[in-house]
Structure 1
């Protein structure tokens, strides 16, 4: 499928948690597309430059962040927006630019430059602030933090999140959050995100994966949260980890000749038997993870050779039937 927005430059692309909807952010609002059948559902935030847009499964709830390319808009404000009634139902302000937003059944996660703010989704109440780069081995410099925005993965159905905890190495933090009903509430403050920092026992527990030698740039959970896929800045190797044992399940080779590439997205099939990987190499690689076809090399790939398609990043996923790749 191909979407052309010639008069509205695309600024953001994201599938929802079930891969049944595609959000396309532009410099003049967002468009929501249904993927099966593929058609346009709705538009919103006209004349607003979209920085981030996250959908809550297949509901009418969106988390929207605008950028600062137009006067009076700022990436420091998060809008929780109901598409059915065309109304902002909640607004959150921060002291820093928002780098990423994730939603699952229990939590709203807001990522800033060096911290992660976690809210209960039911009442939009802050529960804790996590220090993102607590595991760094060298002092952080402005040059280190001025590059790629932090990546983060949040399991859709379980309170597990993963994020790089050292911007110069390939270490990943696996944080298991407590159920919102038993999380200890923290006192509010006027700081970024409105919460105070808490220790590990308050929000749950964490483990460190020494996933790669180079900084991690892409993460994805299997639907049940049992496996985590990781990719580094080199883009040649994708690794799949057991989140319980911290053992590596598989090492997948995107390139047989070791050619580096920028990984754009990782996505498990709904049944967890395959992984699709998109990158700057103009190809989409599909890996088999179980059964007789299990292999470290891709079992198939799609070549993106249409004119102009390399001018933007492309993300990929499986449709719920696990038979069709959507790019």
Structure 2
């Protein structure tokens, strides 16, 4: 009998219908049947919320850190018709504009100055100057059948590259929109030296060309598109869900091919680290994979890969695998970190695929973003250093802050915290700080069950590392994440 999978409370959890980061992952929105809320990503803080009693939303998209939100009705009782995008000013508490289409809105992305809306077979782009200047239609492009509303924007001030599905299955169109003026800082930090005009890296000097080669990315339907902030790189995944391909947007050439696994999966999303040195991917397997994009990376490879220059080997043996991963534990195994928060009922879990207009999400559904975290100097000097960490939001109400593993020396892990996956206990306060191991995951590092790759013995298992869970919060029925 597996008692860990049984609920300790009959309280029904709140399901998150939609969760989305802003373009810079500084804030995120969460929509439930009770309404929506806007949070600061880290430190986790509620910025504002709005209760809804007459309908639900399938999309709540923030425009950077402004008061503007793009809303789309959805779920069992849509607040707005699914063929409309409502522009909502949360400071004024009212609609400032609405866009109506002839078919259902499948997806949307925004950035300063622009809004792109995906319909089933076309993408419509609008120039957005804010409530005072209004919004006007810019152009539209035809796509292949795009049921999931795939779109991606480059978000840096000097890059307005838009990536959309091509007219043929598996193809990508790259569209260069007119550049936006760089935003002015309202409160510049005092006593700071002006930044040098000389680019500090190749990324700073990168400029997008006026024309780009269309990309023939996959032979099957696309499942995700993701651009770097500069627009220099784009990641694509397909319906098969085994490979992540990284492309150079200026030439249309493939520069990397990363392998998530060997079995079929639905990849929910891909996110580049803003400095373009790493990328993470998450899927319906409940696993977040982290890959390095540098030359001579720490990504895992087959033990037979050194033989590739000498003998012909199948493509599989030359694949690069994630150097780190994190398996989202089953929600029923979580122990509440605060007595005021209800436990999750195992009867509410569902393994059904996630659809935007349903009210019961799959347990593995999540969205992931990168955030810079100031941490204590590991050398003991007491100074604060900044590192990149992951924030994962699950549609079952989990908020995870994950640190990347430290470098491996001589095949041994340098522990900087507890790993997640083995059987253990959680200790902490209402703030959600985790100081021990968290309950059983689907396949923890200590599990006797081996993956398909492990059974074949094709990977260097000594290089396999786990991300470290630094902090965990659960969505409460009344207080949300807090």
TM-based fold match above 0.5: yes
Query: Within 2, Cα distance between the matches of 1:103 and 1:317?
Result: 16
1:325 aligns with: 390
Alignment map for 1:116-127 (pairs within 5 Å)? 116-122=123-129, 123-127=134-138
Query: Within 2, Cα distance between the matches of 1:130 and 1:211?
Result: 18
For the aligned residue pairs, the C-alpha RMSD in angstroms reads 2.3
2:105 aligns with: 98
Correspondence 1:313 to 2:365: yes
Query: Within 1, Cα distance between the matches of 2:115 and 2:74?
Result: 20
- Which segment is superposed worse, 81-90 or 261-270? 81-90
Alignment map for 1:231-270 (pairs within 5 Å)? 231-255=237-261, 258-270=262-274
- Describe the SS at the equivalent of 2:367: coil
**Can you list the C-alpha shifts for 1:258-302, whole angstroms capped at 9, x where unaligned?**
111110110011211010111111110000111443532211000
Query: Within 2, Cα distance between the matches of 1:180 and 1:38?
Result: 30
2:446 aligns with: none
2:170 aligns with: 170
Greater strand fraction, Structure 1 or Structure 2: 1
- Describe the SS at the equivalent of 2:120: coil
1:185 aligns with: none
Correspondence 1:88 to 2:106: no
1:36 aligns with: 42
Indicate if the aligned counterparts of 1:106 and 1:159 stay in contact, CA closer than 8 A.
Answer: no
Indicate if the aligned counterparts of 2:105 and 2:119 stay in contact, CA closer than 8 A.
Answer: yes
TM superposition shift of 1:311: 2.0
Correspondence 1:107 to 2:172: no
Query: Within 1, Cα distance between the matches of 2:364 and 2:329?
Result: 13
CA gap of 1:73–1:121, structure 2 versus 1, over 3 A, is closer
Alignment map for 1:1-327 (pairs within 5 Å)? 6=12, 8-44=14-50, 46-47=52-53, 48-67=55-74, 69-70=76-77, 73-122=80-129, 123-133=134-144, 145=145, 148-157=147-156, 158-166=159-167, 169-179=169-179, 207-255=213-261, 258-293=262-297, 295=299, 296-308=320-332, 311-321=363-373, 322-327=387-392
Any unmatched runs of 5+ in structure 2?
A: 1-10, 182-209, 300-319, 333-348, 350-361, 374-386, 393-482
CA gap of 1:178–1:205, structure 2 versus 1, over 3 A, is farther
TM superposition shift of 1:119: 0.9
Indicate if the aligned counterparts of 2:328 and 2:364 stay in contact, CA closer than 8 A.
Answer: no
Query: Within 2, Cα distance between the matches of 1:129 and 1:6?
Result: 43
User: 4+ residue runs of structure 1 moved beyond 4 angstroms?
Assistant: 5-8
Indicate if the aligned counterparts of 1:28 and 1:50 stay in contact, CA closer than 8 A.
Answer: no
CA gap of 1:45–1:126, structure 2 versus 1, over 3 A, is farther
TM superposition shift of 1:101: 1.4
Comparing both chains, which one has the higher relative contact order based on Cα–Cα distances under 8 Å and sequence gaps of 6 or more? 2
Query: Within 2, Cα distance between the matches of 1:324 and 1:121?
Result: 32
CA gap of 1:241–1:79, structure 2 versus 1, over 3 A, is same
TM superposition shift of 1:218: 0.5
- Which segment is superposed worse, 313-322 or 303-312? 303-312
Query: Within 1, Cα distance between the matches of 2:224 and 2:176?
Result: 19
Any unmatched runs of 5+ in structure 1?
A: 134-144, 182-203
CA gap of 1:180–1:119, structure 2 versus 1, over 3 A, is farther
The aligned length equals: 286
CA gap of 1:115–1:56, structure 2 versus 1, over 3 A, is same
Query: Within 1, Cα distance between the matches of 2:109 and 2:86?
Result: 13
- Describe the SS at the equivalent of 1:324: strand
| TM-score normalised by the chain length of structure 1 | 0.81
| TM-score normalised by the chain length of structure 2 | 0.56
